[in-house]
Structure 1
Amino acid sequence: MRMSEGVEWALHTCLNLSWVESGEAVPTARLAEFYGLPAAYLNKQLQALARAGILSSTTGPRGGFRLARSPEKVTLLDVVTAIEGAEEAFRCDQILRHGPGGRQDVDYRQACVISQGMRKAELAWRTELAAQSLADIRATVERRQPSAPGQARSRLAAGAA
């Protein structure tokens, strides 16, 4: 399974926003500049996160994005789903209906062993993503790189260039 780069950008941006003091809104351009990303494309990802209720956006001269929920209430699955959509990765097209012994009255999405195996694997993947919150990721980063929160705050603070 391959996810778009937007998932990585969204996750890193949410992590950085979790370190911004007092929930200050940060403009897209400043968020994009942090990693040298194209602002217009990052904005599409941020809008998707806002539609999903992960971020909130404010318009105007002091506008931008901030976390809409606490990091404990945002899972990796929430972000992946916001960016990639909720569709299943594997889509059984029921090709067994057209093979030897295939029957039109059988729902092969349920009966096919390959479909069952793929769904089981996807469920495990989604379960693991749902078990990890932004707060969990944040705690690990802070333990491994104690300077990361301060660096993010200083680069994203109002008036930062």
Structure 2
Amino acid sequence: MRMSKGVEWALHTLLNLHMTGGGPVGSGQLAAVHGLSATYLNKQLQLLVKAGLLTSLPGARGGFRLARALQDITLLDVVEAIEGDVRPFQCTEIRCCGRVGELTPPPSEACPVKVAMVRAEDAWRQALAAQTLAEIQTELEHRPDVADAVRSALS
């Protein structure tokens, strides 16, 4: 499974916003924390707003803040916000094409390859849905230096 770097950027940004105590924080500041492209990060931030994970506040003192508590945001929420809800495996029914398709009757059952891939994708999605950002934040609490660095970088 391959995901864009936007997923990683979004996850860290959501966690960083939590560490600041709520924001709002500008996209330029959020990008600078990890030396990211502010333009590209802003696109990810807009997708997070559209998905209801962030709110955007306009104006000179505006920026982004969490729209939900970390315990209410799953890894699947973030992946779907950035990547969309598209299945990575697309069955094109090649079993019905070419010489094999000519030599066999049309299938009456679902493609076993598709069934297996959907089952694997469902397991992957369930694993993402089962983990919240609050659980990751709990792991980060064992590294208070990271939270201090984030707060310092965003102040």
TM-score for both structures, normalised by structure 1: 0.89
Matched residue type, 1:29: G
Q: CA deviation at 1:149?
A: 1.9
Between Structure 1 and Structure 2, how many residues are aligned? 151
| Counterpart mapping for 1:8-157 below 5 A | 8-21=8-21, 23-98=22-97, 99=101, 100-103=103-106, 106=108, 111-143=110-142, 145-157=143-155
2:43 counterpart SS class: helix
Give yes or no for contact 1:96–1:102 (8 Å, CA) kept in 2. no
TM-score by length of structure 2 reads 0.92
Q: Which amino acid aligns with 1:53?
A: G
Residue 24 of structure 1: SS of its match in structure 2?
A: coil
C-alpha displacement of 1:102: 4.5
**1:111-139 deviations in Å (ceiling 9; x for gaps):** 11111111111111111111110100010
Deviations 1:23-66 (A, max 9, x none): 22100000000010010000000000000000110110011111
Say what the alpha-carbon RMSD is for the aligned residues.
1.3
Secondary structure of the residue aligned to 1:147 is helix
Instruction: Report the Cα distance in structure 1 between the residues aligned to 2:94 and 2:114, rounded to whole angstroms.
Output: 11
Which consecutive residues of structure 1, in runs of 5 or more, have no partner in the other structure? Answer: none
Alpha carbons 1:49, 1:79 under 8 Å: kept:
yes
How many angstroms does 1:150 deviate by?
2.2
Distance 2:124 2:133 in 1: 17
Distance change in 2, residues 1:102/1:52 (3 Å): farther
